Amino acid sequence: MANLALLIFLVVLLTQVVSWVGKSVLQELAFSLYSRLFLTSAAKKQRSLRKQVLDDKAELGRTSSQDEFAKWAKIKRRLDKSLADLEKSNSTLASARTKFTVQFSSLIWICTTGAQLVLVWWFRKRPVFWLPRGWIPGPIVWLLSFPSAPLGAVSSGAWAAVCKRVFATVEEIVKALMAPSPAPVPMANQAGPQSSRPTATIEPIELEHEKVD
């Protein structure tokens, strides 16, 4: 049972790692390694053809089609041939990349989603581990044994769901820890605005009384 729990845990972990890193990133890294191992000659030929095409174009631009027509026609034929060979080389490499993409995507699916489906279905009646009696309420015990594990045991499907939930929680915690903290809002200077406000002053009013003779 411990081996089954560990196996499901590792498959779910692999699935989460692929999700975190990104399938496209892994595909680019894998194709780069594949190209260095199996497509070195084709890539080298493509670079050589590109250089040849650029050189022929530059030489054709320096050659006058009126004064040196024979030389210009020779360079033009050579350039056309180099372009045709380069297009063929590009098509070969593009076909190899497409084939590799399909195979790599299939391999990733088999090792992640496909493996999870097979493990959950194949071991659906086998308990991953047993729960302590009386510690967990009955409805939760039944839910953890769903769909076909013995009552009181954790099924392969429930264990896979628990592993996914744990990894998702860890991802949220890591993202929260790595998120930049918001900048503190500067407090307004209390003395400044008050001192800059115009103050109203009440001047005493002098009343002049008429003198009565």
Question: In this prediction, what percent of the chain has a pLDDT beyond 90?
Answer: 34
User: What φ, ψ does residue 130 adopt, rounded to 5°?
Assistant: -100, 150
Q: How far apart are CA 19 and CA 16, in angstroms?
A: 5
Residue 153 has a CB neighbour count (10 Å cut-off) of 19
- In this prediction, residue 186 carries a pLDDT of 62
User: At residue 212, does pLDDT exceed 50?
Assistant: no
Helix (H) or strand (E) holding 43: helix 40-62
Alpha-carbon dihedral 16, 19, 25, 28, rounded to 10 degrees? 80
Nearest C-alpha neighbor of 8 from the set 125, 179, 188, 163? 163
**pTM for this predicted structure:** 0.68
pLDDT in tens, 32-87: 999 888 888 888 888 899 999 999 889 888 888 787 888 888 888 998 998 999 99
89 CB-near residues (< 8 Å, 6+ apart) = 42, 45, 46, 49
Instruction: Tell me how far CA of residue 24 lies from CA of 20, 162, 180, in angstroms.
Output: 11, 27, 27
pLDDT digits (tens, 9 = 90+) for 143-164: 888 888 888 888 898 999 999 9
